[in-house]
Amino acid sequence: MGSNTLIIIPAFNEEKNIGTVIESIKKYLPAQILVVNDGSGDKTEEIAKANGAWVANHPFNLGYGVALQTGFKYAIRSGYEYACTIDGDGQHDPSHIRDLLKVVESGDADVVVGSRFMMGDYNAPFFRKIGMRIFGTLASVFIRQKITDPTSGYQALNRKVLLFCSGDRYPVDYPDADVIIMLHRSGFRIMEIPVRMHPSSKNKSMHGGLKPLYYVFKMFFSIFLTLLRKEKY
């Protein structure tokens, strides 16, 4: 564990948090860290490099899904067998990285999702919690397996999933319940394990203005299209 694993951190204007996140990860796993700097206008790149991370820069903000996919493609080209995705805002507790990776390395699952709700001590804002429950229920029904945290970006993936998620079907904006359903229908094994998450230090952009409405519409539409496809990918 470590030399064959890439830690992927998608980051947009995270100069206040990225250094602490990188140093915290190093305490728990001596793996290479890649920060995908998604068009930040601050010092995210400089701070990430100063703390020993590799940095892949997008010329402008392309979205969370694109940033993740950049990391997946880098992992594939560089020969990594596993990857762990963790947000750059300090919300994800790095102490669980080894727990996530142990499951995929053991072969018990192809992708492992860290669930904040299985830990039992996370309180999300009311309307966000409602959305998580709706899409968690939909994902649970369609994959016939309980999913408690479909929006979690704290995940470990093996090389087969990295290859799949590097393709054109991967969403460019908010990969959540639709991706869980897509992966299941493609024959991948999915597992959730409890992880601790901290409240985000800032409001993420998807929760401002009309973006929550777009997210709900997009997610329902994406799930609908995923279910229309009868073939495995």
| pLDDT, position 164 | 95
| pLDDT, position 230 | 60
| pLDDT, position 32 | 97
Taking residues 124-137, report their average pLDDT: 74
Closest CA to 38 of 135, 172, 147, 163: 172
| pLDDT, position 192 | 97
Taking residues 57-63, report their average pLDDT: 96
pLDDT in tens, 193-230: 999 998 765 545 444 445 667 677 777 777 877 777 66
What is the DSSP secondary-structure string of 160-215? HHHHHHTSTTS-SS--SHHHHHHHHHTT--EEEEE--BPPPSS--GGGSTTHHHHH
pLDDT band at 233 (very low <50, low <70, confident <90, very high): very low
Taking residues 41-57, report their average pLDDT: 98
Query: Measured in Å, how far apart are the chain's first and last C-alpha atoms?
Result: 29
| pLDDT, position 207 | 45
Q: Whole-number mean pLDDT of the chain? A: 88
| pLDDT, position 224 | 76
| pLDDT, position 216 | 77
Taking residues 105-111, report their average pLDDT: 97
| pLDDT, position 130 | 76
Instruction: Using DSSP bridges, classify how beta strands 155-158 and 82-85 pair: parallel, antiparallel or unpaired.
Output: antiparallel
* Structural domains in the chain, sorted by start: 5-228 (3.90.550.10)
pLDDT in tens, 149-202: 998 999 999 999 999 999 888 877 777 889 999 999 999 999 999 999 987 655
Taking residues 104-121, report their average pLDDT: 91
> How many whole angstroms separate alpha carbon 95 and alpha carbon 111?
18
| pLDDT, position 154 | 97
